[in-house]
Amino acid sequence: MVAALIGAVITMFVGHASLFRLGEPLVSLSYDIPFTVHRAGSSDDIRIVYLDELDGDALDRKSQAQLLDRLGEAGAMAVIYDVIFDRASKDPAIEREFAEAIRRFRGVDAAGQPVPGRPQRRVLLACGRETFSMTGVTGEQLLPPTDVLLDAADDFGLVAWNDDILFIRELATGTRDEPSLIWKAATQLGADLSEDSRMDQRWVNYAGPPADPGIRKTSGPFQSCSAESVLLNGTNPNFFRYKIVL
């Protein structure tokens, strides 16, 4: 299941990285060639929900609380956001409602303590990084989730991949101080990972792109649907039971 999770998170990034591919370095051929004949794998532990409603250039949060409640009612075991909620909603009430929905899904109270009789589940958020220049000095800074949401979630991790090769072949685990979202999600979900082995090379067993939700007959390694279909009860509730949702 953890291997499937890693593959799913990486798949979300492959499309972005591949837009900038200018050519394949020879050193990568030993990795790429087997996949010309290797049949794409699949996993039934993962579900991908596409979020496509935008408010300006930020993801619209008005429906996020309801979406998370629906996923909880359907029995999802974890939700991992690969979008970065680094700016607060213009309406503080929407931000608070989303945070409360995160706690409901996790089965905890306002203090983060388990609520008796409620299932204990995971919600992880994404963190970004941006380059800035000030008085002639260039540096980088993290873009963490807002304090309101971070206080409600289990944890957050850096959205990162190895962009030196312009195509994702190797797992990016981050560092002790800046762990990647992949690493955080895997450890939160019980993967047997050691900090001592964090920097070991981990090559991706590429599973292929997800199915296109707009084309009914397409298939991919991870089953998917739109957020709209979940909100409008257009998805079989069993579709999410005991699944990890991205």
CA–CA separation, 245 and 195 (whole Å) = 26
pLDDT at 183 over 70: yes
| Token reading at 244 | 């990890």
User: pLDDT tens-digit profile of 127-140?
Assistant: 988 887 778 788 88
Q: What is the pLDDT of residue 201?
A: 74
Higher-pLDDT residue of 90, 3: 90
User: pLDDT tens-digit profile of 5-62?
Assistant: 555 554 554 444 443 444 445 555 566 666 666 555 556 888 989 876 655 555 678 8
Q: What share of the chain is helix, strand, coil (3-state, %, to 5)?
A: 30, 20, 50
- Output the CA–CA distances (angstroms, integers) from residue 228 to 52, 63, 64, 206, 232, in the order listed: 9, 9, 11, 28, 6
pTM: 0.76
pLDDT (average), residues 191-202: 82
What is the Cα gyration radius of the chain? 19
CA–CA separation, 126 and 159 (whole Å) = 6
pLDDT at 164 over 60: no
- Measured from the Cβ of residue 150, the count of other Cβ atoms closer than 10 Å reads 17
Q: What is the pLDDT of residue 20?
A: 41
